[in-house]
Amino acid sequence: MDTTTVVLAGGQSSRFGEDKTRALLGGTPLLDRVLDALPGDSDIIVVGEARPTTRRVRWTREEPHFAGPLAALGAALPLIEGETFMLVGGDMPSAAPALPQLAELLQGTPVDAVVATDLNGHRQPLLAAYRTHAVRAAMPHSPIDLSMRVLLHDLDVTTVPIEEQFVTDIDTQEDLARMNSVYDGADARSAREADLVTYYDNEAADRRDNPLPEDRAARRDEFVEQLRAEGRGRLLEVGTGPGRDALAFQQAGLTVSGVDLAPASVELCRQAGLDVRVGSALELPFESGEFDAAYTASTLLHVADEDLDTALTELVRVVLPGAPIAIGLWGAPESRQERWGKQSYGPPRFFALRSDADLKAALVAHGAIERFDTWPSSEGDELHYQWVVLRTPDRA
């Protein structure tokens, strides 16, 4: 199937007051939200002012600028190589999952376009799949300031009702505030986790190919020695990533199981012969007392402060009473929650960086702190790594 997607991101945003595709939704520019959600193999053409983006795209712009959506599509047409293409507005952050369905329908139907309709039956030409030659033939010689309806009028169109959530666009600052409330309100955890999955799915292979820092690998190997000395063989790793530590544990003779939020990381672990499944630290998919010990490195920093207690309770639940749990985290002089990451991997990741005192205060409710080491970041920033071995209460 052709997977060219044209994204219109060069409108005037007059109701919004500034370029809305640059506005931040959950800490990420709106345009990047749209791009991140497009099918992975899509050839993406963005019509608008060129800027750095998370996905690799081709840029074009209508002349004169701000000449409306039909002129914008007209500017993209010469760049489209496939027989069909998908079209989406750069202000429609939830639309992408609906696009492949529209494209598939177009493949199987002898029409020129498959266009989504909203709950009221209104056609949404910016959430649609089109046959390229038909659009070329129907494009007016001078599309400046013409509406997309002019194009649809000359095409043989099938419409498909689409759930409201996919059709939602952002026109005003109030629309944006409403959508941003998802990132601050009751759904904040799932929004954070969805962003982490996007980011780590894109990052997994690079992480696998990077060696672990020596300081951390040394602590991990000491933990292996401790487990040997205590005769503990069944280990759970939470937040395996692509499995660098888990492989070392397996090679050291331990029976390792793992869990990670990001399916691409889990797949890499499985390819390497590891027993890892998709799941969250906040709801571990294991029975109580299944493991002799647990290990989690650079993962609980993605769990918000309000959820840390749940994550620690889960870790303690799945190990035997009196078990050691090794925890590695990036910490800061003062606790803070923030988002950052490399733009090419996806939306910035949520981080909860904790001071040593705050981390210790959270841990003591779950066991005795047997070891607490820290060392500075090699990046020259003010972060430091925190390495903990927590001994869970002996309930026997």
Residues interacting with ligand SAM, by CB under 6 A? 196, 200, 207, 238-241, 244, 259-262, 265, 280-282, 297-299, 302-303
Tell me how far apart the alpha carbons of residues 396 and 392 are, in angstroms, rounded to a whole number: 11
- Neighbour count for residue 390 (Cβ, 10 Å): 22
Least gap, CB of 91 to ligand SAM (angstroms)? 29
Per the CB < 8 A criterion, the answer to whether 73 and 33 are in contact is no
Please report how close the Cβ of residue 227 comes to ligand SAM at its closest, in angstroms. Answer: 17
Q: Which is nearer to ligand SAM, 164 or 381 (CB)?
A: 381
Read off φ and ψ for residue 84, nearest 5 degrees: -135, 165
CB-wise, 113 or 261, nearer to ligand SAM? 261
Nearer to ligand SAM, 42 or 240 (CB): 240
Minimum distance between the CB of residue 97 and ligand SAM, rounded to whole angstroms? 21
Least separation, in Å, of the C-beta of 240 and ligand SAM?
A: 6
CB atoms within 10 A of CB 59: 18
Looking at the Cβ atoms of 61 and 302, the one nearer to ligand SAM is 302
Q: Shortest Cβ contact with ligand SAM: which residue?
A: 241
Minimum Å gap between C-beta 264 and ligand SAM is 9
Q: Considering the complex, state which of residue 115 and residue 204 has its C-beta at the smaller distance from ligand SAM.
A: 204
CB of 12 to ligand SAM, least distance (A): 39
The least distance separating ligand SAM from the CB of residue 44, rounded to whole angstroms, comes to 25
**Under 8 Å between Cβ of 348 and 340:** yes
Residue 135 or residue 274: which is nearer to ligand SAM going by CB? 274
Select 303 or 318, whichever has its Cβ closest to ligand SAM: 303
CA distance 177 to 173: 6
Name the residue with tokens 């959530």: 165
